[in-house]
Each structure stands twice: as structure tokens, then as C-alpha cells.
A and B are shown apart, each in its own frame.
Chain A
Amino acid sequence: MERSFLSPSVFIVLPLLLVMTFLSGRKNFLVLIAYTLGLGFFYLILSWYTSASNETQLLYIEQHLLASLLIFLYWLLLRHLRSVFEDNQYLTDRVRTLEGYSETPQLLSYSEFLDRTDFLMAGAKRRDETNYLIHLRLKPTAPNKKSIMQLLTIAGIRVFRVHYDVMSQRNKFEFLIFLQNTDAVGANIACERFLSEVRLQMTSVNYPFDVELLPVRQSVEETIRQHDEEAVR
């Protein structure tokens, strides 16, 4: 068989390149796969029908690979261009949000927690309201600290209004829930509700953590520091 530069695939490739320019990324991928397989079957049937010699079959394979490579490279180019635009938009939208949150959804990073509580306390001071902090500290002997923290987070999310009361992990051993606009009685009730939610998931008689209810007068850090100093005394 004579080599020809006008292989049958040329007649499909050019319109296909045009069509792909206007299709979405997903449809383009489907077109790429369907085209590569379809062209393969076309050459297979052609080889069978014409009882193609080994040399002709090799030529068909060569033509198939070249035509597929062309479509593949075009698809890759379109995909890359689209992803650059999309990623840029997505990342711009997400950066601010992600900065504020830690690995656990709806649990604030500690720095964001401090910012939020400072803001809430400024408002509370103007309105002459009081705020409380539920402070949980894991016992040093507690096993499976990671799972306990996960449990506390899930229970906190279930019990508290995530956009009103804020929660965070101070470190690997301390878990904090800031309750705004409440008094000692209200804080006690909230704490009991939280502990009963935790209790549902625990079998041990004693909690593997200590719980304290602290009135917050200045800042969260100051409150914990003062409390720790009193405990040492």
C-alpha cells in the first residue's frame, strides 16, 4: 500500500478540533475517549474488510496514534487553560474562608477564635452582657485523645449555635466553647446539655477530661491564664 498523507482520520480530526473548542471540559474528555476508541474500531474493521497486510496494519496504527495524539494535545491545552481560570477564581474565593477554619469543619482555628471572641466581647461590653467559657482539659492519662477531641467537636456542633457560640481547640489537650450573652445559670444549663450529648457516646463512668465554667471578663487568654495561676496557688 502506498503511503498517503490524507488518511481517513484527517476528515474527522479537523471538524472535531472545531467542535471541541466550544464544548465543556467534561464533554471534551468524553469526545476524546469516544474518538480514540471509535477510530481504533474503524481501522480494525478496515483492516479486516480489506484483508490488510501486516505493513498496512502498522501504517493504520501509526495513523491512529498520530491523529489521537493531535486530539489529545488539543484537549490537554483546552483543559489546562480552563483549569487555570477556574482555579484562580476558586482559590480567590476560598482563601479567606479557609484561613479562618481548622481541619475540622465548623471548628475555628485558635487565632480566629481569639479574634471572634474579642469582637463578641466588645459588643457584649457595650450592651452590659456577660460571657462564659466552657473549658475542657483532657486528663494526661486519657487514651485516644484524637478521638475524644473529635467527639467533643461533633457534640459541640450538635448542641450549640455555630454562628452564635464559637468553639476551638487551644492545643491538643484543651477544648474551648465561648458562650455569649449568658449568666452563670444559663452557662450551667448549656454545659450540662453539652455533657449529656457527650455522655451518649461514652461508656466510661468518669469523663476523660476536666470541665470548668469560667466567666470571661477581659479576654479568653487572660481568663485561662488567671485560672491556671489560681489553680497553681
Chain B
Amino acid sequence: MNLILNGIMAIFWLMLLYYSFLTIAGIIDRYSKQKRPELENYPSVAILIPAHNEGVVMQQTLEAMMAIEYPGQLDVFLLDDQSQDETKQIAHEFTTLFSRIHYIQVPKGEPIGKSRVLNYGLTITDSEYFLIYDADNQPKPDAVTKLVEQAVTTKHACGAVGVVKTINAETNTLTRMIAIEFQVFQLIMQSGRWRAFKTGSLAGTNMLLKRSVIEELGGYDPYALAEDAELTMRVTALGYTLPVVYTAETWEQEPESMKVYMKQRTRWMLGNIYLLEKAFLTRDFWRGRTLVHSLQHIMTYLLFIFLLLISDVVLVLGLFGYAFDEATTPLIMFWFMTYLVYTIQILAAQELEKTATPRNVLIGLIMYFTYAQLFVILLFRGIFAYVKSKIRKETIVWDKTKRVKIEQS
């Protein structure tokens, strides 16, 4: 019993140290001033927006696309994947007026999903760089310029990654928690990895890539549901880097109901299980900087949830009077440290992002007991759906996140 416990505790040690290290590295990186290089010539950029029934958000998205200021050639391609709502009409109002906006009807095809649509978008464009925005995104006018400047001037860079902010963070407790989670991921994980290992990861949106690199890779994997994470692995395996640009911001909406959230995150979980399987079968994913991503992936989607489960079991048994007195490891201290590291990351991100209001701090303090526990449910949902699809030899279908109308002044 003690041997098993010590083995588990060794994993605890590893994770606690790694995340503490990333927290410190992330804060140092955020505090160091990012130089803004200027270019003599700005390369051509194509913005690709995959869309399927996005009428609710399309007007605001295209308005934001028109507000982008970029010194070089910039074209926006709305890739409509069989929308049945008013997406086309809204796009038409823009395409008849503005030469920057292009409406593209994507032909029907399999497998359904973002990756296939993006692959199609790449075949009909020829810009030097391409940039992905989700259909609900509203990037800041200078986001594209800043991403391009870093991508062009950073050594071995194949693109650049910006940050994603939550436009509806104030709506309810769930959206606040999602916004906090995003802050932790981007302000601590991303910046910490960039500072410590000079490697960043693609975020699915607000990400710029060099066309020649995606061509070298043979395009997106159409079966990957977490196409950003999957592409990160392959790009890093080729020796490229992805600088993180904190000032290149885009705003997007997050699920406002638990039902929509669980659906979206189950898809993400499925995508990450697919990637875990792929990682275990691909030797290149365990070399150089890619090792950082592979280990991070295992820690986040396997070990973290596994240890969370163990921590819950210990807590419940403790509440029922089982004191673990015979254990040779300090279980209570371990539990405390897990909570501490998790919560410190949240509070640090809030301080860096200047969102540390009393309400947000309170939410941050309870997230370990509430929001983090959802990942246990998600892991089981993900594994169940993944095993089911394997047994039935079915392709897992892309499940679009439902949008809501957000009024803006």
C-alpha cells in the first residue's frame, strides 16, 4: 500500500514542482517588456474564418475584421460550411461593399469539422501567412500587425500566437470561471513555457502560421478534434517555434450554460485523447521541445485528473473518519500544496490581467472544489465516447459550440 502511495506521491511531486516552476517563469515573462519590431515590408496575410450557422455573431465579427489595421495585403475569407441561417446574407452585405471580405462556400465533405474547412481555405488562398479566427472573434485592430511582426522577426518561428479574452466573462459564474481558466492557460502556462523552453502552443484562434510550414506538414489532420494542439505537436517536432504575443488580443464568447460547456469540453477532451493516442504512437513527439508539449499533455489530461480523483477519494474517506495514520507520506500537506499551487496560478493570472476584483478572487478560491472537479466528469465522458467510437468503428463528429447574441455598445 505504502509503495503505491509513494509512487503516486512521486507524480504529485513532479507536477507540483513543474507547475510552480511554470508559474514563476510565466510571471517573469509577462513582466519582461516585449519589444515591438517594425518591418520594412509586411507579408500578405489571409484571415480564415470557418463558419457553420454563425448568423448570431457574424455581423460583429465582420465589423471587427473591417476595423483591423494592417500595413500589408490583408484578405478575410469567411469559409461557410453549409450554413442554413443568415450567415450568407450578412456576409453578402460586406462583400458587396468591401474588397477585404470574401465569402467562400465550402463544398460538402467528410469528416465534418474545422480541420477540413481550414484545409479547403488553404487551397483557395495564396498569401504568405494565414491567420485563424473563430466565427465569434473580435480581434483588436492591431492584433494582426503585432502577430506578423513577432512571427517574422523571431528566430525559427513559423508563426505566432495571440491571446484570447472572454467577451461575456461577467455574464455568470461559469463564464467567469472559464475566463479565469483562459487567463491561467495563457498568462501562466503559455508564457511560462515560452520563457523556460522557448516553445508556445497554438490556441485554435488568433494564431498566425506560415503557409509554407502547413504545406510541409501536409495540412491539418481532418480527424483531429483539437486541431490546434495536434498541429502544435507537429510544428514543434519540425523544430519551429511559436512566439506568444500578449498584446495581440482577440475577444470571443464562451458557453453560458453548463449544457453547452459540457458539450464543447467533451469535444476538446475527445480531441486530446486522440492526441494522446497519437503521441504514444509517434516517436517524433518525444524529442526536443515537443517533449515539453507531450509531457504537458499527459500531465494536464491524464495525471492531473487522475490525481484529482485520488485527492477526492482521500478527502471523502477522511470525512468518513479514515485518517490514513499508517501512511508514510504527508497526505494532508500534499493536498494543501495541490490546492495552493492551483489557486496561486489563478490569483497570479488575475493580478497580471488586472481582474482581481473581490468577486473574482472569491471565485478563484473555490475553483479547485468546483470547476476543476468538472474535469473528472469530462475525462469519463471523453473516454466513454472515445471507446464507443473505437468499438463501433465510427468517426467522431465535430460538435459546434452554440453561440449567443451579445449586445455591444
Contacts and interface: CB of A to CB of B under 8 A. Distances in A.
Contacts of A146: 63
B31 A41 contact: no
Contact of B67 (A147, A203, A208): A147
Name the 3 nearest CB pairs between A and B, nearest first: A47-B330, A147-B66, A57-B332
Interface in B316-344: 323-325, 328-330, 332-334, 336-337, 340-341, 344
A57 B330 contact: yes
Interface of A: 26, 29-30, 33-34, 36-37, 40-41, 43-44, 47-48, 51-54, 57-58, 60-61, 64, 143-144, 146-148, 150-151, 154, 200-204, 208
Contact of B24 (A30, A61, A143, A148): A30
A225 to B, nearest CB: 30
Interface stretch (B88-96, B251-259, B299-307): B88-96
A37 B323 contact: no
A201 B332 contact: no
Interface residues of B, number: 37
B342 to A, nearest CB: 12
B332 A61 contact: yes
B69 interface: yes
B344 A37 contact: yes
12 contacts: A36-B340, A37-B340, A44-B337, A54-B332, A57-B332, A61-B333, A144-B62, A147-B63, A147-B97, A151-B66, A201-B98, A203-B98
Contacts of B27: 29-30, 33
Contacts of A40: 336-337, 340-341
Interface of B: 16-17, 20, 23-24, 27-28, 31, 62-63, 66-67, 69, 93-100, 323-325, 328-330, 332-334, 336-337, 340-341, 344, 348, 351
The B interface is mostly helix, strand or loop, or mixed, namely helix
Contacts of B348: 29, 33
A208 B341 CA distance: 57
Contacts of B17: 41
A33 B344 contact: yes
Contacts of B337: 40-41, 44
Given A33-B348, A144-B94, A201-B99, A150 B333 contact: no
Contact of A147 (B31, B98, B99, B333): B98
A44 B15 CA distance: 14
Contacts of B97: 143-144, 147-148, 202-204, 208
B325 A54 contact: yes
Contact of B28 (A30, A60, A61, A203): A30
Contact of A151 (B23, B98, B332): B98
Nearest to B348: A33
A150 B65 CA distance: 11
Contacts of A36: 340, 344
Contacts of A44: 330, 333-334, 337
B24 A34 contact: yes
Contacts of B67: 147, 150
Q: Which of A26, A200, A203 has the most CB of B within 10 A?
A: A203
A57 B328 CA distance: 13
Given A37-B341, A150-B67, A29 B351 contact: yes
Nearest to A34: B24
Contact of B20 (A37, A52, A150, A208): A37
A40 B336 CA distance: 9
